[in-house]
Amino acid sequence: MEPLHADTLLRVFQLVTTMLALATVGGAWHLKGERALWFWAGAFAASALTQAARVAFIAMGAPRTFWAVGHLGSTLSALMVLLGLRVYLGLPLRCRWPLVLTGLACIGSLALTAWTGQFWPSITLTMLVSAVLTMPAAHAALQAWREQRGFPLGLLAADLIVSAIIEVARGLAVSPLIAQTRAELVQYNSIGLFAVIALLIGQALAMLLLLQDRALRQIERLIEIDVLTGLLNRRGFDERLRRLLQRGVDHPPVLTLLDVDHFKRINDTHGHAVGDAVLSGIGARLHDTLRPLDLAVRLGGEEFAVIWLKPEAGGELRLGERLREAIGGQPFETAAGPLIVTVSVGVAQALAPDEAPEALFSRADAALYEAKRAGRDRVVLAR
C-alpha cells in the first residue's frame, strides 16, 4: 500500500475547506435569519484561512514557529461548530470557557513549537483541545436526536462523535508514545488528515440536511397556520382532530365551534382592517384562555374552533361558557375605538374515542346554529 502524501492531503484539505466556507457564507448571506450558519461558515473558514496563512509563511521564509499556525484551524473550527450547534438548537451560548480554552490552545501551540522546534507537540495539543470542544457538541447533537429523531441530527451526532475519537487518536499517534520515527509521525498524521477531510464533508452534508429539514418544517407550519390569528387553520384542524379520534384516548375530546355574532356588520360599519383586528384579538384571547395541550383553530372567516383534551366529566357547558366570556367579557381595542364582540358557541363531546371527525363536527355545528337561532351570544350543547 502506497503511503499517503501529506502535502497533497493538505492541499486537498485547503481546497475542501475553502469551497465549504464559500458555500456556507453564501448560504448564511441568503438565509439571514440562520445565525448558526454563520458560525458553521466560520468553522470551515478558520481551517481554510489558517492553512492559507501556513502556506504564505512558508513561501515568505518565516521562522518555523509560524508554520504551526496551520494547526490552529482544527481548534478554531471545533469552537465554531460547538457555538453554531448551540445556536441552532436554541441553547444558551455559554462561550466563556470554550473561548478561553481555544485561546490558551492557540498560544500554547505556537509557544511549544518555538520552544521545542518540533511540530508534534503543537499537533497533539490542538487535536486534544479540539476533541474537548467537539465532545460537548456531540453530546448536544445526540441529546437533540434522542428527543427529535431524524436522519440529519443522527448523522451530525455520529460525525461529531467519530471526529472527537479521530482527534484524540491523531493527537496521540503523532507523539513519541506511538510514532517512533519521523516517517511514522508523517504517515499517522496523514491518515488522520485523510479521516478529517472525510468527516468534514460528512459534517457539511449533515448541516445542509439540518437546514433543509428546518425549512421543510417551517413550510409545513405555514401551511397549517392562519397568518392573521396565529392559530391552526382548517387544514391543521382536520389533521389533528382525525389523529386525536384515531388515538382512542380514555377521555374523548370536546369540540367547540364559535361564530362571531354580526361580524358582517363590523366590516360594513368600520372596515375590514377593524374586522381583522377583532379576529386577531379573538385568536389571542383563545390562545391565552386555553391550556397548552388544547388546540385553537380559525376555520375561516369569523368561525373558530377549540379542541379540548382531557375535559372534566360533565364540564362541557363550563368550557363553552369560559370561551364565550373570554371573548365577550372585555371590549376589543381597535382603530374605531373599543368594540364589544360576542360569539355563539356550539359544544359537542365525542360519543366514542373513535367517532368519525365528520360526525363530531356535524353535531357541534348543529349546536352552533341552534345557539344563533336562539338569539346568539350563548352556548348550546349538542344532543
* DSSP secondary structure letters along 183-246: HHHHHHHHHHHHHHHHHHHHHHHHHHHHHHHHHHHHHHHHHHB-TTTSSB-HHHHHHHHHHHHH
Q: Which residue in 356, 354, 372, 361 sits closest to 306, CA to CA?
A: 361
Residue 355 makes CB contacts below 8 A (sequence gap 6+) with 245, 252
CB 381 within 8 A of CB 347: yes
| Under 8 Å between Cβ of 306 and 296 | yes
Question: Residue 204 and residue 199: Cα distance in Å, rounded?
Answer: 9
Pairwise CA distance, residues 380 & 372, whole Å: 9
Task: Give CA separation, 118 vs 64, 113, 195, in Å.
Answer: 9, 5, 23
Of the listed 167, 302, 303, 333, which one is catalytic?
302
Distance CA 15, CA 4 (A): 17
Burial class from Cβ neighbours inside 10 Å (0-12, 13-18, 19+) for residue 134 reads buried
Is the Cβ–Cβ distance between 367 and 319 less than 8 Å? Answer: no
Which distant-in-sequence residues (6+ apart) come within 8 Å of 258 by Cβ?
A: 303, 304, 305, 306, 323, 324, 327, 343, 344, 345, 368
Q: Which three cell numbers stand for residue 17?
A: 475547506
302 has catalytic annotation: yes
Cα 330 from chain centroid (whole Å):
37
- What SS3 class is residue 290? coil
* Cβ contact 329:288 at 8 Å: no
* Active site residues per annotation: 302
